[in-house]
Amino acid sequence: MSAPFQAGVAVHHRCGLHPPSPAALEQKLVVSGGVALSGHVRISGAKNSALPILAATLCCDDASAISRVPDLLDTRSMAAVLRSLGARVEWPEGADGGELVVDASAAGAGPPCSNELGKTRAGFLVIGPLLGRFGEAEVGLPGGCNIGARPVDLYLRGLRALGAVVEMKQDKVVAYAAKGKRLTGGTFYLNYPSVGATETLMMAASLADGVTVLLNAAKEPEVSDLAEFLTACGARVHGAGTSIVTIKGVSKLHGTEFTIIPDRIEAGTFMVAASITCSKLSMSPVIPRHLTSVIDKLSASGCTITQTGRCSLEVSALKSRHSAGLRGFDFKTCPYPGFPTDLQPQFMALLCTCNGSSLVEESVFESRMTHVEELKKLGAKIHVCSRHVLVNGKDRGSLLFGAPVMAHDIRGGAALVLAGMAAEGTTEVLGAQHIERGYENFVAKLNSLGASIRRNQDAQLTLSSIM
């Protein structure tokens, strides 16, 4: 059975899907401040693994069963993209563990539904599997979060290195294999270790003739997870997780059963939730190794982080009579294994509540700063100079109090909810639909830990108060 989507919206004819109603476009969260959290939170499957792995099912001649796919607007959009290409996607309603069956045996080269493609940048990833399997692809330029220019030059140059002819036509990319129907292996140096470009090229190269070598490849755990999936489908991928990935093309890939890794960014967000509310939380499943840079910073700040099992962590920032609270710290976002850009906004919110001043440098996405002005509305004392940010802690003037704020992207939105939980009074977070693109059951999970967050879709009334 196909996945049912949100009720109350009109069916879009090609995707079999519903565009969001105007009311769903502006969602508001009302966050009560000053709460303490406790208990255990279950971490969902990684959004940024699930998205490329769903795209990779297009490489396969038969069905795959994928477990722990988080139920998110972004993964639903990707499922709609696959359906628009002729794949069968079964997403049983309410299935615990998020098991999805994708059968792309009857899929064609497309083009995919541009309406769904525009909702998530990850939709563009299908260009790799389509070129690999069918020798042709026509894909609209990506949408997604407003966090920087986010070009696709590396994807396109990489595909050309595999023998594709790539042409830009208005707002879409048309590409086809130059030599007959298949791409040919080649060597490609990424002048930046782009996650999406590495993933696209790994998928395309898996079905190319000959050997492809990717130099300066992205090393993110989600890239390794995709390589594991492709390998389970019969691909020959070596070196994923290092900067040199070698792919020996095969003629076809088959389906498989696969489980997505836990979401390190969701885990990191709940680690901040514990820290910013001076609480103690446990969480599982997690892969502690994926969180090394995060654990390092939180420990330096004064949090106690304990690995309580192979896949579980406990984070404690409980205040004792003698402790003066958490200390500020400096950090710079970098490709993995460096500090993740996807946790920069949440950590910036935390730094506002620490002692001392901290320096943050955003080196991955030049405009991932839209949360700064919103945090300032909550009383944060933050100064931005290009990619560098000075955050003054609570003893240097940042005293958070509730106010209406606007979420502009997934992680910035999560940061505002976290800041709202630490603030005095009530914080209204508008644009909360952005958060739901990337966090499964975010509000329900926080409330189950003791937070007090109410949903209110009738947000239009308060929009004017924050503009």
- In the bound state with ligand EPU, the residue whose beta carbon lies nearer, of 209 and 342, is 342
- Does residue 195 interact with ligand EPU by CB under 6 A? yes
The answer to whether 388 touches 361, Cβ cutoff 8 Å, is: yes
Nearest CA-CA partner of 72 in 210, 216, 266, 253: 266
Nearest CA-CA partner of 219 in 239, 205, 191: 239
Which of 30, 35, 82, 152 is close enough to bind ligand EPU by CB under 6 A?
Answer: 152
- In the bound state with ligand EPU, the residue whose beta carbon lies nearer, of 185 and 412, is 412
Nearest CA-CA partner of 84 in 72, 92, 76, 73: 76
- Span interacting with ligand EPU, options 47-55, 110-118, 394-402, 458-466, rule CB under 6 A: 47-55
DSSP code per residue over 40-104:
EEE--B-HHHHHHHHHHGGGBSS-EEEE-----HHHHHHHHHHHHTT-EEE--TT-TT--EEEE-
Rg (CA), the chain: 22
How many residues would you count in the chain?
467
SS3 at position 273: helix
- Does residue 217 interact with ligand EPU by CB under 6 A? no
Cis check: omega of the bond before 285, within 30 degrees of 0: yes
- In the bound state with ligand EPU, the residue whose beta carbon lies nearer, of 282 and 341, is 341
Which of 3, 72, 197, 233 is close enough to bind ligand EPU by CB under 6 A?
Answer: 197
- In the bound state with ligand EPU, the residue whose beta carbon lies nearer, of 151 and 309, is 151
- Does residue 401 interact with ligand EPU by CB under 6 A? no
Q: How far is the CB of 196 from ligand EPU (least distance, A)?
A: 3
Tokens of 213: 């070598």
Active site residue 303: no
The residue annotated as part of the active site, out of 15, 60, 113, 145, is 145
- Does residue 149 interact with ligand EPU by CB under 6 A? yes
Q: How far is the CB of 272 from ligand EPU (least distance, A)?
A: 15
Nearest CA-CA partner of 233 in 455, 80, 64, 41: 64
Amino acid letter at 388?
H
The answer to whether 417 touches 31, Cβ cutoff 8 Å, is: yes
Which of 29, 53, 201, 410 is close enough to bind ligand EPU by CB under 6 A?
Answer: 410
Write out the H or E segment, with its range, that includes residue 269: helix 264-276
- Does residue 153 interact with ligand EPU by CB under 6 A? yes
Measure the CA–CA gap between 243 and 186, rounded to whole angstroms. 16
- Span interacting with ligand EPU, options 145-153, 254-262, 412-420, 456-464, rule CB under 6 A: 145-153
Q: Site map for ligand EPU, 419-438, x if CB under 6 A?
A: -------------------x
- In the bound state with ligand EPU, the residue whose beta carbon lies nearer, of 184 and 198, is 198
- In the bound state with ligand EPU, the residue whose beta carbon lies nearer, of 146 and 448, is 146
Measure the CA–CA gap between 30 and 331, rounded to whole angstroms. 30
- Does residue 272 interact with ligand EPU by CB under 6 A? no
Q: How many residues bind ligand EPU (CB under 6 A)?
A: 29
Residues annotated as part of the active site: 145
Q: Name the site residues for ligand EPU (rule: CB under 6 A).
A: 47-48, 51, 121-122, 145, 148-155, 192, 194-197, 218, 220, 222, 341-342, 364-365, 410-411, 438
